[in-house]
Each structure stands twice: as C-alpha cells, then as structure tokens.
Amino acid sequence: MESRSPWAEREVDYAELVVGVVIAWGVFDGVSTLVAAALVGVEFESNPLVRALLPTPTLALGVKLAAAVLAGVLALAGERFIRTVPGWRCFFLGLIALGAGVTGLNLGVALAAV
C-alpha cells in the first residue's frame, strides 16, 4: 500500500495564499531590508519612501507591514471577484516567489557587506 503525503491532494486555500503574500512582503521583505540597511547603509535603498523611513527602523518595518496587511485585507475582500480571474493561484504564487526573491536579494546584499 502506497503512503501518500497529505499535501499531494490538498489544494492551497485562498486565505493561505493571501497570508503567504503578507508574510513574504510584510515580514520577510521588511526584516531583510532592515538587516541590509544596517550593514550596508540607508543610502543604498532604492525606494525613496523606504529610504526616508529607514533612520527609524520600527517605523520602516511598521509601514511595510501595514502596506502588506492592507493589500491582504483588500485581497480577502475581493476574493469572490479574484477567484473568477483565470490563473489567480499562479499570480499569488508568483507574488510569494517574487517576495522570496527580493528577500534573498536583500540578504545577499547584507552578506556581501559582512
């Protein structure tokens, strides 16, 4: 008898994808941006809004988290519509992958400075 993983047949839920986007872009990107800025310097941040907030790290992280949470709330509010768009799962998975890539880039910058 073959043992199957519980993930093999399970489809990722919409809310889980939204939470993944919020975590990738709010938490991981926010923290990795702070780490990179602390090791390399604030002046190397390409986003002018984030660069202006980085001298106060808690404010910078708070703004990034707030923006990600707001996007998540809007995505949850529009779930009925978004589920009608073809490829919506791929879009969310792409956003999560892009957030992971940005986090990796930030960490790469931080490690290069060490």
82's tokens: 């978004």
Q: What is the dihedral of CA 92, 30, 70, 98, to 10 degrees?
A: -20
- pLDDT tens profile 25-84: 999 999 999 999 999 999 988 899 999 999 999 999 999 999 999 999 999 999 999 999
Task: Give per-residue pLDDT as tens, 41-58.
Answer: 999 888 999 999 999 999
- Check: CB of residue 96 under 8 Å from CB of residue 20: yes
CB atoms within 10 A of CB 39: 14
Maximum Cα–Cα distance for the chain, whole Å?
A: 60
- Amino acid at position 102, single letter: V
Provide the percentage of residues in the chain whose pLDDT is more than 70. Answer: 90
Give me the amino acid identity at 22.
V
What CA–CA distance (Å, rounded) separates 29 from 107? 10
